[in-house]
Amino acid sequence: MSDLSPKRAKDTEVVMTQLILPPDANNLNAAFGGKVMEWIDICGAVAAQRHCRQVVVTASMDDLHFHAPIKVGWVALLHSRVLAAFRTSMEVGVTVHAENPLTGERTLTTSALMTFVAIDKDGKRVPVPPLLTETEAEEEAFKEAEARRAQRLARQKENQSWLKVMKPIAGA
Ligand SMILES: CC(C)(COP(=O)(O)OP(=O)(O)OC[C@H]1O[C@@H](n2cnc3c(N)ncnc32)[C@H](O)[C@@H]1OP(=O)(O)O)[C@@H](O)C(=O)NCCC(=O)NCCS
């Protein structure tokens, strides 16, 4: 039986560090976006799992913005935390800062919002604990996440007509 007592938002925080090496880079000698997205997915999933202590799957990633590149040889600092918990899903915020290894200077390079859904060993969705917000900023972030969730689910239902033109080309 899973523990559904409220959990503190700050206890979900995850910090992950990656040194950008040539295999992680694009042809501009900066971190490849797809690699950064992979790290964001992992960092976000660990925060969600810390909250619910269940296996989670990624339902969506949105508001993904690459603000600045991260150079090869620099350090990517990923930071995630659960912003809101609903019935079986959680919204997680993830940021990536680039750290200059020689000066320690840090710059925000990427931010993203992710939704994870908790599942049991049979792949069935399971309820997650409520999120305990302790500061005004956490409370505000929770309310914003609730509003975003409503918009996200409405968008998912409404904006589907573009899928009609996405027929995979035979033999491609
Ligand atoms: C994500 C998934 C479990 C949702 O399943 P579903 O049948 O649509 O489930 P429901 O409609 O009952 O929704 C379950 C929860 O997911 C949320 N959800 C569903 N689709 C979503 C989406 N696109 N974005 C954000 N949240 C979503 C719902 O709001 C609901 O949240 P709540 O329980 O907190 O209210 C299902 O689509 C899935 O398994 N997708 C594949 C996941 C995957 O393989 N990820 C990549 C590897 S980890």
Structural domain contains residue 53: yes
> What's this model's pTM, rounded to 2 decimal places?
0.96
pLDDT score recorded for residue 168: 85
Structural domain contains residue 2: no
Q: Which residues of 62-94 are buried (b: 16+ CB within 10 A; e: fewer)?
A: eeeebeebbebebbbbbbbbbbbbbebbbbbbb
CATH number, domain at 98?
3.10.129.10
Residue 159's φ and ψ, nearest 5 degrees, are -90, 65
Structural domain contains residue 152: yes
Q: Does residue 1 register a pLDDT over 80? A: no
Structural domain contains residue 92: yes
Structural domain contains residue 170: no
How many structural domains does the chain have? 1
pLDDT score recorded for residue 163: 85
Please tell me if the CB atom of residue 79 comes closer than 6 angstroms to any atom of ligand 1. no
Please tell me if the CB atom of residue 58 comes closer than 6 angstroms to any atom of ligand 1. yes
Please tell me if the CB atom of residue 32 comes closer than 6 angstroms to any atom of ligand 1. no
pLDDT score recorded for residue 172: 67
Span 100-121, pLDDT tens digits: 999 999 999 999 999 999 999 9
Structural domain contains residue 76: yes
Structural domain contains residue 46: yes
Atom number of ligand 1 nearest to Cα 57: 48
Residue pair 50/79 in contact by the 8 Å Cβ criterion: no
Please tell me if the CB atom of residue 155 comes closer than 6 angstroms to any atom of ligand 1. no
* 124-148: average pLDDT: 98
Q: Does residue 171 register a pLDDT over 80? A: no
pLDDT band at 155 (very low <50, low <70, confident <90, very high): confident
Span 72-99, pLDDT tens digits: 999 999 999 999 999 999 999 999 999 9
Structural domain contains residue 166: no
Q: Determine the structural domain holding residue 35 and report its residue range.
A: 7-159
For residue 9, count other CB atoms closer than 10 A to its CB.
24
What mean pLDDT is reported for the chain?
96
Q: Which of 117, 131, 157 to mutate to test the pocket of ligand 1 (most atoms within 8 A of CB)?
A: 117
Please tell me if the CB atom of residue 49 comes closer than 6 angstroms to any atom of ligand 1. no
Atom number of ligand 1 nearest to Cα 59: 1
